[in-house]
């Protein structure tokens, strides 16, 4: 059991939506933030970094949004569904936009291929969390 | 001239929307993030902190969203309007929700009154930025 | 293989120290940041939250330091050993201090026990990384 | 009066060191984080961005450390002097290293000159805060 799961299971309050969807979304956000921080840095270290400016930029943005989303989803005390929903929409959008850009460089840079996978997982997890939150 | 303004004026790229609205929104996000971090901590230090759990929670969330928004608005290279817009919507929502909660405690706690003002300024700045971005 | 490991293995630059120690420290920082964000929130949701103010405070600090450390360790392009070392010292200190406080509440709150474990793992990983960096 | 100052003055707890030095350090950290985020992005947008990889990298690190420091200094409830001191040391180191790199590019890039000034102010503020904390 991951620490994230153990923390969720020992929390004194109820979760606002399905626990499995919530845990997957927390872990996907944290994982995607790390992959995007890494991909921005790997692109910066490439010889053709000048052609990767858009990929670097979108990875930095996606890391920041996923970081904030991972923190907010982690909190279960006195949640506000409206704030959570709006941030999940922004996170899904950032992951979709970043993932598509990474995909464009996946043939030339293996780290972009890996990062595109992390973005796609997080985009889907945000979608599932949004469905669970509205249900 | 603030460093934020000087950095914006020496940036090699164009801004995606009106520079005055952009600068105000960057400064409001950073200011609101700091006020919310402080208000969560001040509430935690009050004797009646147990009754302020919702205020603490919303301040922590608002600080995280404003931090991410301040960073993303600060970047002018290869911006994506869709990501910026979605995050500004989330930030406006977080500021509105947090500001209203702080307002409820403003008579008893001066720091909640100050923080409500920072939230309201940021909510308005996000609204102006969204209008400028769509125009 | 985790995304963090795959990103490290596809990075175009060399790592500044032993890859296994680096990967463990990156993952420990990210894991500890999430556990501490969760423990601060779980403490806030407890009936005896007023007696947990110090635990909440140290968890918030530890989450912020671990977040910054996880990001900086993730970057391999043009690293600066002095900055990395100073931050690892601060992170080890934050994890030790937070972990001891969580340990004090472990008998009453299971989430504090889990969080103490995440802090201890991260304190040790920072120590190993510091040794590897100085070697 | 800034919101940061108003929040400090309405906080229910004592500060752990001289209030003027504390306020200056909080504001310098937040200001430096924003300048460094901006400088990394401005460098990325330059035609000679490939030659600015070290400046981009150090600015991203400095922004992350200053962000964490600004948050931790903002908190007055149940502070831990050891954690604060270790992080201030790391922050001073990050600002010194980043400021020197920015200085090297100041003749060619005005944003690097502005950012070097923000780094120097923050390095000094951390030094003053460390002196005040040890006194």
Query: Nearest CA to D92 among C86, A113, B53, C43?
Result: C86
The CA–CA distances, whole Å, from D8 to A95, B29, D1, D12, D82 equal 37, 18, 11, 9, 21
> Among all residues of chain C, which has the CA nearest to that of A118?
C3
pLDDT, tens only, A20-62: 999 999 999 999 999 999 999 999 999 999 999 999 999 999 9
Q: How confident is the model at residue A135 (pLDDT cuts 50, 70, 90)?
A: low
State the smallest CA–CA distance between residue A12 and chain C in angstroms. 6
Neighbours of chain C (3+ CB pairs under 8 A): A, B, D
The per-residue pLDDT for C135 is 67
Give the pTM: 0.98
CB atoms inside a 10 Å sphere around CB B92: 21
CA angle at A73 for the pair C64 and A86, rounded to the nearest 5°: 110
Q: Cα dist. B35→A78, A112, D14 in Å?
A: 20, 37, 17
Q: Do C57 and D75 touch (CB under 8 A)?
A: yes
Neighbouring subunits of B (3+ Cβ pairs under 8 A): A, C, D
A53 closest CB neighbour out of D49, D57, D60: D49
C112 is written with which tokens?
Answer: 């504090």
Contacts of D19 by beta carbon, 8 Å cutoff, 6+ apart: D8
A134 touches chain C (CB under 8 A): no
**Neighbour subunits, D (≥3 Cβ pairs < 8 A):** A, B, C
Chain segment A69-128, per-residue pLDDT in tens:
999 999 999 999 999 999 999 999 999 999 999 999 999 999 999 999 999 999 999 999
From chain A, pick out residues whose CB is under 8 angstroms from the CB of C6.
114
Given a contact cutoff of 8 angstroms between Cβ atoms, the answer to whether C11 and A43 are in contact is no
Contacts of C99 in chain D (CB under 8 A): none
On whether any CB of chain D is under 8 Å from the CB of B4, the answer is yes
Chain D within 8 Å of B87 (Cβ-Cβ)?
Answer: no
Candidate from D8, D26, D67 with C-beta closest to B67: D67
Torsion sign over Cα A78, A119, D43, D53: positive
């Amino acid at each position: 059991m991951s620490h994230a799961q153990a923390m969720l299971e020992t929390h004194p309050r109820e979760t606002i939506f399905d626990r499995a969807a919530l845990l997957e979304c927390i872990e996907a956000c944290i994982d995607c933030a790390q992959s995007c921080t890494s991909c921005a840095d790997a692109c910066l270290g490439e010889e053709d970094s000048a052609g990767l400016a858009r990929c670097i930029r979108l990875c930095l943005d996606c890391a920041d949004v996923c970081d904030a989303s991972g923190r907010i989803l982690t909190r279960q005390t006195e949640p506000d569904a409206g704030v959570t929903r709006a941030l999940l929409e922004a996170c899904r959008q950032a992951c979709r936009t970043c993932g598509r850009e990474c995909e464009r460089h996946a043939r030339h840079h293996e780290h972009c291929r890996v990062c595109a996978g992390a973005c796609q997982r997080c985009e889907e997890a945000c979608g599932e969390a949004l469905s669970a939150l509205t249900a």
